[in-house]
Amino acid sequence: MNNPLLILIAGPYRSGTGGDPDAIARNLERLEEAAAPLHRLGHIPMIGEWVALPTLRGMTDAESAATDVMYDTAARLLQHCDAVLRLPGDSSGADNDVRIARERGLPVYYSLDEVPAA
């Protein structure tokens, strides 16, 4: 067995929602649907929003306005991740995650079928 990978699941979260909380929640559910299959493959799934949302709740409005916590959190996470799983859908944040992953030489998968088992 290979070592498990820490895989960032990247895809639309706020994109295309017009700020609608129900649409945002559905996007998070789509991201989370990939977590169990990655775990079954022996890997550790990670979604940036799992880290960023509690961070945002702990910030003042001025702090959260000063930086895009979602993008910043994902960039920091990618310093520790081993790969990215890019789910379908328009998302500048997910596209940025892919760019950072490629700069770091990390594999980017576009389907769960592409992810090797650990």
Its pTM stands at: 0.92
Of 76 and 65, the structure prediction assigns the larger pLDDT to: 76
The CA distance from 29 to 26, in Å, is 5
Give me the pLDDT at residue 1, please.
52
> What DSSP designation does 116 have?
P
Residue 118 lies in a domain: no
Alpha carbon of 19 to those of 16, 97, 110: distances in Å? 8, 21, 26
pLDDT digits (tens, 9 = 90+) for 15-72: 999 989 999 999 999 999 999 999 999 999 999 999 999 998 888 887 776 678 889 9
Residue 1 lies in a domain: no
Question: Across the chain, what does the average pLDDT equal?
Answer: 94
Give me the pLDDT at residue 42, please.
97
Domain that holds residue 11: 6-113
Query: Could you tell me the CATH number of the domain that includes residue 31?
Result: 3.40.50
